[in-house]
Structure 1
């Protein structure tokens, strides 16, 4: 568990005075008790008290904050709702947290164009609520959608249980308005089918606050399906369940959602939300069909046949909207439900080819024995995005260190089978060492070159997401892969 670094009181006073010269007093927090709620994001194992927190009301104030920080060479950590799970919003002892939570207005709703223009602090679910009277909604639905903000979704390229059919944030955002560290406003993307020039919108989405501050977002809205139903299929082992996922996709079916939970997950969730899960099954799949009544009936029939052929021991199909939502409530509440069976949990995020699901789940089971820790597996099975929950007790000496090492090995296994170290949670502080496994030094240098193009002073969320040469060298000393030491040509200190 990390400990906060000390804050220089003279530096804090200097920066606070400069900010108060351009902002109302209500927009600047510098007292430690006021800044304490901002010391971490959803990855609470890493904590750092921020030097100062700013809460701008509008774009003009965002620019004022950036100008002060640039002139005084102060690092800036952007923050939305703080629901991130990779330490992306972890403050710095010598830095300013820039929270866009107060910029939470829906600027305009255009049902005929099927888009909405919103400020960065608008909650994900609030967009769908506002679009509902028009028969529309915003498709990406991360489990934190009741609280997470659209700018945070942009920063992490968030997904959710329906991302298999409807895509991630990058597939549903048309335009972002961005304040740069140089004090300019730029617009990436547009409301037309395509925007001129390089596709910098795709570069910006998922950049974890390292390239600019989002001040406005234009999102794509889609028609709400006429109906939807979900299948809950039970399997007697996780390998059979994992193979069934590949069978569904191989049959040419793209469900609206295709999620998997192992028995540990089902048993921790069921008493929490009473979703009706089969807690005797080693694994369950949730497979949703949406569309017209005819389309849904046909797809449910096809998926049922595929799942039975793949070895499903029992199949239940939702018979009402209330039952469908109840089935999903268990999956969406898996993280908070972990608190019922463990004092602490460490949520990982890696992505693998679907064909390797069974192999990776078997590997995770072996790691449980190696590290002496339990792991509850919940994930977006349809697109191979894993969310293993490593259960531990931070009060027991050494358990958090074992949980971190367990998580690092899961990510290394994801890379080994042709996957990636993150699907939607971002790299942040948590996975920065694993970047040294995923990418070569030349690739990491290219990432830094993109950052320099936007942020030459390296002030926007520094020391996140992209590891330095020294960090990779130090990490390489600790890890051996296939008998080869990473960056073996570097001098050892």
Structure 2
């Protein structure tokens, strides 16, 4: 279905497609410009495939100067432009606009330098996340952020969404692992943000750009922080008879002062699907499992694993397994990383949410999701970066059944509002994109939204960069509030106890 862009978010221009193609062709080879509907079709959506819009034109520059030219010409003619990496995003952040240019960075895919002395990698934005670690491994180094899509997603897209992964609890999100970057503005200017040091004078524009979802500029080059490969890593698998118990166990691990490299959780539906798909050795009768990994020096890992084992056992685990060898450890993690495609085998479609809550409220929020599942009559498989409170409920539905997608969307919105009411936020790593833009009206006040728009206007005064994404207009929020939010409270009486 097409994304329902709010009238206040539309960008209009007067130049026709053929005329603009001729203008672009003065700066890019003709073969780098796509306009035939069949050529445009692969770009009509990202990983959130529920929404589809055919782009007006796709531009595939293969040099910095070509990319600058595209941006300058879009600014000159008032044409909206959406930057796209690998298209693995799950919030519709790279969804094209029907009268705009989709700027693909697929050809910017070179690793420019690996510096083992300073432990950095300088790369173009189209480099795959996993490729950075593969290139650095010969030096005993790796790149820590590891989203589940790391085999395909690009580092430029990771910056746009501030991606995390199963190891972000200990090693941080993308924002904590980028040292500097080069940014193309809509005017085609090249800015260099960040520094090789721990701090720099002036505003922290590097942090501002990370997670800005393509609304402020286009990343052209990045310098990433590399870490030494851990001496050893060990993982525990704990099984629980209730999902609430598992949630309390996660909070107990953190409360004990432990900092796992990864602390993940899966409910029964998710772990069964992953087991049938990967054969990871999961206990399929458990209501939920917790994966807890420690890494570092061998002596420290041995001590931390023993402490974590004691905490998980004391929290009521039915069983706690220690992976006996590296192969079993890899299988445990392979099941978790394959959870999304595995769950895709359970229903024709699923709608993946991404909210974050305080860890202490994990079990209560999970109970709230279960109540909503009963209310909507839709199954939910739950997969979490539990250590940092990042939830990924997957709502199962059938897009071919009339009304199912709309019901799944409404259900997903209520889950996000549940997260907000619990003191959390509506996104942990997938970004807002088009998926969560209306719920932004519940997360932020009018004054805060005005400030967001003021920041965007500094970089993009005409609103041409990725319009209709991430930051809602005040007219959209006025409409959302009139229909959905009453007296400043979210309409969920079951949340009042939070």
Same fold by TM-score, threshold 0.5 exceeded?
Answer: yes
TM-score (norm 2): 0.95
Query: 1:91 corresponds to which residue?
Result: 96
**Alignment map for 1:71-110 (pairs within 5 Å):** 71-110=76-115
Query: 1:333 corresponds to which residue?
Result: 338
Query: 1:187 corresponds to which residue?
Result: 192
Could you tell me whether the CA contact under 8 Å between 1:4 and 1:47 is conserved in 2?
A: no
1:293 matched to 2:298? The reply is: yes
1:476 matched to 2:481? The reply is: yes
CA distance in structure 1 between the aligned counterparts of 2:242 and 2:81, rounded to whole angstroms: 47
Query: 1:254 corresponds to which residue?
Result: 259
Q: 1:315 aligns with which of 310, 320, 326?
A: 320
Query: 1:280 corresponds to which residue?
Result: 285
Task: Report the secondary structure of 1:358's partner residue.
Answer: helix
Task: Report the secondary structure of 2:62's partner residue.
Answer: coil
Q: 1:163 aligns with which of 168, 190, 194?
A: 168
Q: 1:31 aligns with which of 9, 23, 36?
A: 36
Could you tell me whether the CA contact under 8 Å between 1:477 and 1:485 is conserved in 2?
A: no
1:2 matched to 2:7? The reply is: no
Task: Report the secondary structure of 2:53's partner residue.
Answer: coil
- How many Å apart are 1:192 and its aligned residue? 2.1
Task: Report the secondary structure of 1:117's partner residue.
Answer: strand
- How many Å apart are 1:322 and its aligned residue? 1.3
Classify 1:68/1:292 alpha carbon distance in 2 versus 1 (closer, same or farther; 3 Å).
same
Could you tell me whether the CA contact under 8 Å between 1:80 and 1:148 is conserved in 2?
A: yes
Q: Which runs of 4+ in 1 moved over 6 A?
A: 7-10
Query: 2:240 corresponds to which residue?
Result: 235
CA distance in structure 2 between the aligned counterparts of 1:465 and 1:182, rounded to whole angstroms: 22
Could you tell me whether the CA contact under 8 Å between 1:248 and 1:307 is conserved in 2?
A: yes
Cα deviation, 1:448-490, whole Å, max 9, x if unaligned, reads 011001111111101100111111111112213578589xxxx
- How many Å apart are 1:26 and its aligned residue? 2.1
- How many Å apart are 1:25 and its aligned residue? 1.4
1:60 matched to 2:65? The reply is: yes
Classify 1:316/1:485 alpha carbon distance in 2 versus 1 (closer, same or farther; 3 Å).
closer
Could you tell me whether the CA contact under 8 Å between 1:4 and 1:49 is conserved in 2?
A: no
TM-score (norm 1): 0.96
Task: Report the secondary structure of 1:174's partner residue.
Answer: strand
1:392 matched to 2:415? The reply is: no
Classify 1:471/1:3 alpha carbon distance in 2 versus 1 (closer, same or farther; 3 Å).
closer
1:408 matched to 2:413? The reply is: yes
Query: 1:489 corresponds to which residue?
Result: none
Unaligned runs of 5+ residues in structure 1 are 487-493
CA distance in structure 2 between the aligned counterparts of 1:165 and 1:325, rounded to whole angstroms: 19
Classify 1:482/1:360 alpha carbon distance in 2 versus 1 (closer, same or farther; 3 Å).
farther
CA distance in structure 1 between the aligned counterparts of 2:487 and 2:329, rounded to whole angstroms: 46
- How many Å apart are 1:340 and its aligned residue? 1.2
Could you tell me whether the CA contact under 8 Å between 2:13 and 2:79 is conserved in 1?
A: no
RMSD (Å) for aligned C-alpha atoms: 1.6
CA distance in structure 2 between the aligned counterparts of 1:103 and 1:16, rounded to whole angstroms: 22
Query: 1:420 corresponds to which residue?
Result: 425
- How many Å apart are 1:17 and its aligned residue? 1.1
Count of equivalent residues: 485
Q: 2:447 aligns with which of 423, 432, 442?
A: 442
1:214 matched to 2:219? The reply is: yes
Classify 1:477/1:237 alpha carbon distance in 2 versus 1 (closer, same or farther; 3 Å).
same
CA distance in structure 1 between the aligned counterparts of 2:30 and 2:379, rounded to whole angstroms: 48
Query: 1:203 corresponds to which residue?
Result: 208
Task: Report the secondary structure of 1:203's partner residue.
Answer: helix
Query: 2:494 corresponds to which residue?
Result: none
CA distance in structure 1 between the aligned counterparts of 2:126 and 2:13, rounded to whole angstroms: 30
